[in-house]
Amino acid sequence: MQEVILVLNIGSASIKFSLYSVPLLQSLFSGHVDISTSDLTITIKDDKQKTIYQETIAEENYQRQQEHALKLVFEWLHQQASFLLVQAVGHRVVHGGEKFSSPKRIDKKVILELKKLIPLAPLHQPYNIAGIKAVLKSRANLFQVACFDTAFHAQESSVARCYALPENISPLAIKSYGFHGLSYQYITEILPKEIAHQKNIIAHLGNGASLCATENKKSVATTMGFTALDGLPMGTRCGSVDPGVILYLLSIGMNLKDITELLYNQSGLLGVSGISSDMRVLLNSKEPTAKKAIELFVYRTAREIGSLIAALEGLDNLIFTAGIGENSASIRQLICEKLAWLNIKISLEDNLKNTKNISAKESAIKIWVIPTNEEKVIAELTLNLWRTHLKIK
């Protein structure tokens, strides 16, 4: 029987899961559950990305869809029980707050602490916790590990994490935490040693988007801060705005709930374009508002790259990853054109081919396209913690 690590990455509209062999952590199966307002579809692929199972089930109660979706996952796992033995489950948890700067075995106390952080990550944290509870309900004694998106940035300097607020605010743990850390950790781990220790900026560009400056495989600075609203404009999130905007919205009668909905779900590419939060849709649109949203995304990304170069005091490599970063040659080209003052030059041919190295020979800075794999990092962290538990036990 093959021992495996189950990795769960749970969001509001989807559940991604992967199964990795123990101890080699080879990917055996991966799955995706799409959740809509009227049904849910589970798709499972083998290690060669061939679809081996797919089913669509009607489920109109949106609040029950996630629970139902996880039930489908565990039913499929139960069918494989004759040759697959799940030893531990690793969860992607977006916010670890001040208490969790490394992977943590999950118990009731940990769950209570994670609940306290829901206001800081309302688009993610509730669903991460719901997945943990669903596993507890299905397999109460299964070893579970929370792996945090904020943990990678915990070693940043106190200055990089500080806000210019009075000292008596500091005990409330208001500081820059940073996010997408599991993605950044994966990229730094797979880079060749000579590159990983250089001055790098990793551009995690997707529906959620951020940048991270790294040196010696460690986070130096990042664009997201106290919450995942900060930094770049995203699919539906605003990115950085003047705090005075929030004060003004309050003064004209908007309440906290309305402002939260505006900033998290109605802004970003969707808000500016009025068309879609999907960059692919906007790139194919001829509407002026779609062009405006793209221009703003490119401008803000290039501007933030400039700020991170200052934090790094130089730059050797620019690395694109995540959905837009890995797949949109046009967005990569537009960003690099904005950075021409750095003597950075993209190879148009290699960029269109999505090759690993897309920099022109004469470029002063190397440009890379590297697919991320947060699930693999979670599997590694979970396996290490599970092994430590077995030794102690």
Residue whose pair of structure tokens reads 């934090």 in the numeric block: 311
149 catalytically annotated: yes
Non-local (6+) Cβ contacts of 187 within 8 A are 202, 319, 321, 370, 372
Angle, CA 14 vertex, CA 11 and CA 15 arms, to 5°: 80
φ, ψ for residue 255, nearest 5 deg: -100, 175
| CB distance 219 to 187 below 8 Å | no
From 34, 47, 107, 149, the catalytic residue: 149
Question: Six-digit token pair at 165?
Answer: 């607020």
Catalytic residues: 149
